[in-house]
Chain A
């Protein structure tokens, strides 16, 4: 390599430039950092659309069965804890703000603030999962399991046994919030990985693709919950 630069004949100049005159993060098949960043983002948006389509299947199931069995859905939905649902919505919205702030900070090279914003996001995501855990266990205690395991008991749940198709609501509730919760856990993992690398100083305003993509993913998880919350808890 050293001999290459010394001898540097005219025809190979471009090769040498291509090998050495670019930032460490820029891969060879991209013209510029900008192109690399834009490609990664377009890829992420395509992935996010597949995620939206994954959830849309479940939203269609919700819409069809709710339209067929409105009484069962209304009665079963009334057993969900609105307070916990509202708190969880606010927790997730706040985590969306902190992840947006982490991108804002890394764009301004404020690495420390970016790191703490990502930590706050992960903390809030953990809080969301803890509240979800308490909601799930209170349902399990009353036998409000999905599908065939449905055997409600206790003051506010007993009457559900008399309502046809009530288990269907809980099937949809557990599957939708369960898969959403899985996405929260994956997002926590990815943002945790990003935070670790921010702490190591791997990212700067020049190169923060992973934080940007993690942020996009996290906002999508938030959007899914924005729809799940009113549909399952409120109406």
Chain B
């Protein structure tokens, strides 16, 4: 209760932050258009997210005035954001490396990896025109896999 006067952000600060936000918006569009986009390659997504995070930080720190505010608000917000990061990262740990949980075929992991690599090589040789297929056009690999599974089970007893 000692600091009865609220911090009044000068108009120039607000305008400078706004200018920064507009520049960053231009930047994020610029890195998404063609010459730069293919140059960045796999970095496109991290760069776009980094720019968005910078913009959000500007808004939180200056427009929402967390910098000049009661620290407990910053603490609240930071804990929340950490939870969001945990939520996204740990979900991705699962879904990215999950593989095919429905596959109970008696194959070794190495075997499956080798098959996956072969399939990947095949995919790399395809051009984008070949990728445009409807689900109904899929080769009947599942049926073949099922048969081998059955024969494998028949052998085991």
Q: Contact residues of A with B, CB < 8 Å? A: 31-32, 34-35, 37-38, 41-42, 45-46, 48-49, 52-53, 56-57, 59-60, 63-64, 67-68, 71, 82, 86, 89-90, 93-94, 96-97, 99-101, 104, 107-108, 159, 161-164, 215-216, 219-220, 222-223, 226-227, 229-231, 234-235
Q: Taking CB as reference atom, which chain B residue is nearest A38?
A: B70
Q: Min CB distance, A125 to chain B, in Å?
A: 15
Q: Is the CB of A234 within 8 A of B80?
A: no
Spell out B's residues near A (CB within 8 Å). 1, 3-4, 6, 8-9, 11, 14-15, 17-18, 21-22, 25, 28-29, 32, 44-45, 48-49, 51-52, 55-56, 59-60, 62-64, 69-70, 72-73, 76-77, 79-81, 83-84, 87-88, 91-92, 95-96, 131-135
State in angstroms the CA–CA spacing of A67 and B55 once bound together.
Answer: 24
Q: Report the minimal beta-carbon distance from A42 to chain B, rounded to whole angstroms.
A: 6
With A56-B88, A89-B25, A219-B59 in contact, do A230 and B76 touch (Cβ < 8 Å)?
Answer: no
Report whether A104 and B14 are in contact in the complex, using a CB–CB cutoff of 8 Å. yes
Q: In the complex the two chains form, is A96's CB within 8 Å of B72's CB?
A: no
8 Å CB contact of A227 from B15, B22, B56: B56
A104 close to B69 (CB less than 8 A): no
| Complex Cα spacing A107 to B7, Å | 9
B135–A97 touching, CB < 8 Å: no
Further contacts, 15 of them, CB under 8 A, given A100-B63, A164-B135: A34-B3, A42-B72, A64-B92, A82-B32, A89-B25, A93-B25, A99-B63, A100-B9, A104-B14, A107-B8, A163-B131, A215-B63, A219-B59, A222-B59, A227-B56
